[in-house]
Structure formats: C-alpha cells, structure tokens
C-alpha cells in the first residue's frame, strides 16, 4: 500500500482517486476550491462533477499542499495543464523524499509550450523525482468513477517505473498497458483535443456519422504526421493514446472539447464561446500551439484540420464556410 498525493479535486482527480482507493492505497487530494473539498470530506461526493456518485470515506481532500504531500510516494497531476507548472513549483518547495510524479493532464505548459513530462523534468532535479510517467488514454472520468471498463497507458522512458505505475492503478475495471513512447503519446493526447473540438463543430452544424468517421480518420493521419516530426513513433498513433483517445473524445458527450465544438457549430460562430468559456477545454489553446509551431517551422507536413479549427477559434471564420473550404481543397492521394 502506498500513499498517493493527488493534485486537484476535479473530475479526473476524483475518478482516479476512486481507482486508487479501490486498489487499497492511501490517497489525499489537494484542492483550491473549499466547496469541492467539503463535498468530498463531509458529504462523500463531488456534486459539481458527479451528481449521483457516493464516494468512499477513504477518499479525502485538503486545502493544505503540505498535508497532502506528507509521506506520499507518488504525486498524481490531475489539474488543467495551464496550472501545472505553478503548482509543481509549490510542490518542489515542500518535498522531503524522492517521489514518482505521474502526469494525467493533456496539453502544453502555458508559457513554454513544453509537454507535461518535459515540464515536470524542468521543475524537478533527478535527485528529487524518479523517472516521469504519464497515465493517459481513452478515459472519461464520468465512466471511470462508475467503474466502467477502461484501458489506458502508463508511458515512461523508464520501463520499470512505467510497470510500477501500471501495477499501482490496474484492477478488474481499469487495465493499464505500458509504453515508452513519451513524445508520441503526449503529443497524441494533446492533439486529439483539437480534433474533438472539430468533431463537436461538425455535429453542431448538423453533419452525420460519415463526416465524423472522415474527421477521425484524417485527424489521426494528421496527428500522426505531427507526432512523428516531433520525434514520436508512428505505431503509437494506432494505440490507446492515439486512435483510442481520439475516438472517445470525438464521440462522447462527456468531452468538454467536443461540447465546446458543439456550441460553436450550433451557433455557427466561436466568438461567444471564446468570450465566456471557463470549463477545462485544452483543445482551444493546444490548437494555437500546434498551428503556430507548424507555421513557424519547416516540418514539411500539412495540418488542415488544426488550421481550420484555428481560423474558426482565433480568426472568427465562419464554421460552415470553413468546413466547405476543407472539402474543396485540391484532390489528392490518401497517403499525402
């Protein structure tokens, strides 16, 4: 039995807290929202995210980062990517023992655009942490918290640490595979959020299953091209952190990225969504990071879906007209 400090008291933090609690580990969640903490500690639920789920008494939360970290062997990151680095800097000042940091967030650091594993290594020295692991794959918290069968990947450059985290989380409803392709997996997990926004947009515009299948297929091709030029392995895109995560996020009403796209598609404009959104929807910023990276560097690849979502989100392009433009591009071979 290990103690795991979970950063965050939101939906993914709660879903994974239940998995770890079911596996007999001691967990404590760190949060900044008093109402979420009271819900977890006093009412044993997290009403904001899961209205009908009663949590076990072993799932506890605290406003104190120091208390959360005390005696923890693992730190699990389940807060949105834009807050990760600042929170890790606070963690660093409180660390007493060497720990394993497990990332479960999907996207890039908001200042450096680094991937999450890179961000963790940027904050901590090798003597402070064990090799970094990302636990990512097709997994909506709303289903994991209901113990619906789920498979994800424990991704690390170090096989032993990947296996250690695999064992920590695996149980009869949560199956964890290992992978060593950190670059391919983390770029895939981030990129799929942009395609999910596009998937919501086409649904909101009234297009059908054929359209979504085309989007997922071409989206996978595009994200694999990007992942490979960044140093990832092509095969990773046929796995859980590639096609797996892409399918779930593009097809599920639980996805906030899909919901964002749906709202944009239904109103046929992004301006209102961009002005008022407060939900965790990392595809919006990820789209800009990838768009800017590809346009500023000579990778020799095309990213037409990311470019189209970028125009809709950041240049206020008309979504319906943008989809029509995508369809009217020069005809070509599928492998180009």
**Catalytic positions, written as ranges:** 192
Please give the C-alpha separations between residue 292 and each of 77, 188, 234, 288, in angstroms, as whole numbers: 27, 17, 22, 6
Q: Is position 251 annotated in a ligand binding site? A: no
- Residues 112-141: x where in contact with ligand 13P by CB under 6 A, - otherwise, as a string: --------------------------xxx-
Which of residues 103 and 255 has its CB atom nearest to ligand 13P in the complex? 255
- What torsion do the CA atoms of 101, 102, 108, 109 make, to the nearest 10 degrees? -30
Among 140, 285, 291, 320, which residue interacts with ligand NAI (rule: CB under 6 A)?
140
Which of residues 31 and 232 has its CB atom nearest to ligand NAI in the complex? 31
Give me 220's structure tokens.
């996978």
Give me 48's structure tokens.
């904001």
Contacting ligand 13P within 188-207 (CB under 6 A):
193, 196
Q: Is position 11 annotated in a ligand binding site? A: yes
- Residues 307-336: x where in contact with ligand NAI by CB under 6 A, - otherwise, as a string: ------------------------------
Please give the C-alpha separations between residue 68 and each of 27, 58, 102, 150, 255, in angstroms, as whole numbers: 9, 14, 15, 27, 29
- Residues 221-260: x where in contact with ligand 13P by CB under 6 A, - otherwise, as a string: ------------------------x--xx-----xxx---
Q: Is position 49 annotated in a ligand binding site? A: yes
Contacting ligand NAI within 93-112 (CB under 6 A):
104-107
**CB-CB contact of 241 with 180 (8 Å):** no
Among 18, 25, 106, 320, which residue interacts with ligand 13P (rule: CB under 6 A)?
106
**CB-CB contact of 185 with 135 (8 Å):** no
Edge-to-edge strands of the sheet including 59-62? 59-62, 26-30, 3-7, 74-77, 100-103, 133-136, 150-155, 174-179
* Residue 196 contact among ligand NAI, ligand 13P, none, beta carbon within 5 to 8 Å by kind: ligand 13P
**CB-CB contact of 108 with 190 (8 Å):** yes
Phi and psi at 164, nearest 5°, equal -60, -45
**Minimal distance in Å, beta carbon 274 to ligand 13P?**
17
Which of residues 76 and 99 has its CB atom nearest to ligand 13P in the complex? 76
Distance between CA atoms of residues 296 and 299, nearest Å: 9
Q: Is position 47 annotated in a ligand binding site? A: no
Distance between CA atoms of residues 69 and 46, nearest Å: 21
Assign 192 to helix, strand or coil.
helix
Among 78, 224, 236, 286, which residue interacts with ligand NAI (rule: CB under 6 A)?
78
Contacting ligand NAI within 281-300 (CB under 6 A):
282
Distance between CA atoms of residues 257 and 249, nearest Å: 7
**CB-CB contact of 19 with 39 (8 Å):** no
Which of residues 117 and 249 has its CB atom nearest to ligand 13P in the complex? 249
Which of residues 222 and 282 has its CB atom nearest to ligand 13P in the complex? 282
**Minimal distance in Å, beta carbon 196 to ligand NAI?**
11
Residue 78 is a binding residue for ligand 13P (CB under 6 A): no
Contact residues for ligand NAI, defined by CB under 6 A: 7-13, 30-33, 36, 49, 78-81, 83, 87, 104-107, 139-141, 280, 282
């Amino acid at each position: 039995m290990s103690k795991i400090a979970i950063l965050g008291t939101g939906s993914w933090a709660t879903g994974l807290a239940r998995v770890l609690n079911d596996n007999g580990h001691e967990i404590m969640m760190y949060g900044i929202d008093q109402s979420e903490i009271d819900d977890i500690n006093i009412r044993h639920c997290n009403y904001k995210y899961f209205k009908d789920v009663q949590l076990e008494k072993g799932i506890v939360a605290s406003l104190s980062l120091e208390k959360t970290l005390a005696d923890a062997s693992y730190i699990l990151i389940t807060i949105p990517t834009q807050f990760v680095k600042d929170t890790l800097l606070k963690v660093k000042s409180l660390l007493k023992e060497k720990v394993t940091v497990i990332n479960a967030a999907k996207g890039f650091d908001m200042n450096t655009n680094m991937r999450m594993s890179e961000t963790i290594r940027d904050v901590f020295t090798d003597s402070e942490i064990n090799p970094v692991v990302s636990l990512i794959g097709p997994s909506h918290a709303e289903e994991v918290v209901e113990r619906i069968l789920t498979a994800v990947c424990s991704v690390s450059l170090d096989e032993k640490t990947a296996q250690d985290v695999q064992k920590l989380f695996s149980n009869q409803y949560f199956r964890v595979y290992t992978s060593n392709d950190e670059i391919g997996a983390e770029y895939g997990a981030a990129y799929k959020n942009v395609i999910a926004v596009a998937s919501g947009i086409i649904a909101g515009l009234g297009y059908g299953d054929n359209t979504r299948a085309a989007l997922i297929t071409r989206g996978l091709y595009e994200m694999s091209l990007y992942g490979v030029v960044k140093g990832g392995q092509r095969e990773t895109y046929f796995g859980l952190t590639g096609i797996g995560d892409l399918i779930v996020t593009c097809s599920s009403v639980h996805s906030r990225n899909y919901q964002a796209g749906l709202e944009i598609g239904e109103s046929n404009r992004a301006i209102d969504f961009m002005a008022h959104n407060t939900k965790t929807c990392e595809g919006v910023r990820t789209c800009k990071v990838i768009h800017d990276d590809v346009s500023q560097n000579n990778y020799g690849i095309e990213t037409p879906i990311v470019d189209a979502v970028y125009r809709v989100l950041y240049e206020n392009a008309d979504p319906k007209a943008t989809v029509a433009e995508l369809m009217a591009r020069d005809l070509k071979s599928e492998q180009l």
